[in-house]
Amino acid sequence: MEAFTKLSGIAAPLRMINVDTDIIIPKQFLKTIKRSGLGVHAFHDIRYNEDGSEKPDFVLNKPEYKNTCTLITGENFGCGSSREHAPWAILDMGIKCIIAPSFADIFYNNSFKNGILPIQLPQEQVEQLMKEAEDNPDAPLNIDLEKQTIQRGNKLSFDFDIDPARKHSLLNGLDDIGLTLEKKAHIVEFETKDKDKRSWLYK
């Protein structure tokens, strides 16, 4: 997993609430177990017309938001069924951070496990960031995970909270396997002692 330290780039305002996982990645695209290649299908039903052409009014299809790395959106983002393909698809689009007033628990947890930083802020702060992204789409949004800050030029500056363990994982690019391997020395020590006590288990 790629480490997340600082992020600076275009932020796109998605003015929707209750964006569920079927909106993020519809069920017909869940057949693959690969993490790459899903970005083109992300938000499929609200992103494309029936003939496959892009809907010009969808925010991520607009030229000024084509290179978005941060999504600013409404409450309860990622609700609905549990599917890890949802953060896979978002990350494959190049979006590494999502800012919202609230997230569905499973999506929130899956985001951290896949290198996406979900930031929960009060509604009024989300609205300020969203309006600024609409009014000045070319201005970068700067996120510093170590300092836990969000800055938009000299106009807006907010702090955000994050669980220390999740922060450690993101800063060091550690998924669940990586976190386990941090304890490798202890695991080896245990196995060595255990072999002496229960050698029959290792035959």
pTM of the predicted structure, to 2 decimals? 0.88
State which H helix or E strand residue 71 sits in: strand 68-73
The mean predicted confidence, pLDDT, of the chain is: 90
User: What is the average per-residue pLDDT within 25-34?
Assistant: 86
**Residue 55: which domain range?**
6-172
pLDDT at 155: 83
Kindly state whether residue 117 falls inside one of the protein's structural domains: yes
Q: 184 falls in which pLDDT band (50, 70, 90)? A: low
User: What is the average per-residue pLDDT within 62-68?
Assistant: 95
> Total structural domains in the chain?
1
Q: Find the range with the poorest average confidence among 17-26, 80-89, 156-165.
A: 80-89
Kindly state whether residue 167 falls inside one of the protein's structural domains: yes
Q: Determine the Cα–Cα distance for residues 126 and 200; give it in Å rounded to an integer.
A: 59
Measured from the Cβ of residue 89, the count of other Cβ atoms closer than 10 Å reads 25
Contacts of 71 (CB under 8 A, 6+ apart): 11, 12, 14, 90, 95, 97, 98, 99
Phi then psi for residue 71, to 5 deg, are -110, 130
pLDDT at 154: 81
Kindly state whether residue 179 falls inside one of the protein's structural domains: no
Kindly state whether residue 77 falls inside one of the protein's structural domains: yes
Q: 189 falls in which pLDDT band (50, 70, 90)? A: low
- Residue 183 pLDDT more than 70? no
To the nearest whole percent, how much of the chain has pLDDT over 70?
88
pLDDT at 1: 85
Q: Determine the Cα–Cα distance for residues 123 and 100; give it in Å rounded to an integer.
A: 8
How is residue 100 written in tokens? 């919202």
Kindly state whether residue 192 falls inside one of the protein's structural domains: no
Q: Determine the Cα–Cα distance for residues 93 and 98; give it in Å rounded to an integer.
A: 12
pLDDT digits (tens, 9 = 90+) for 47-61: 999 999 999 999 999
Supply the angle between the helices 105-113 and 85-92 in degrees, to the nearest 10: 50
Q: Determine the Cα–Cα distance for residues 121 and 182; give it in Å rounded to an integer.
A: 31
User: What is the average per-residue pLDDT within 90-114?
Assistant: 96
Q: What is the CATH number of the domain that holds 102?
A: 3.20.19.10
Contacts of 126 (CB under 8 A, 6+ apart): 72, 74, 99, 100, 101
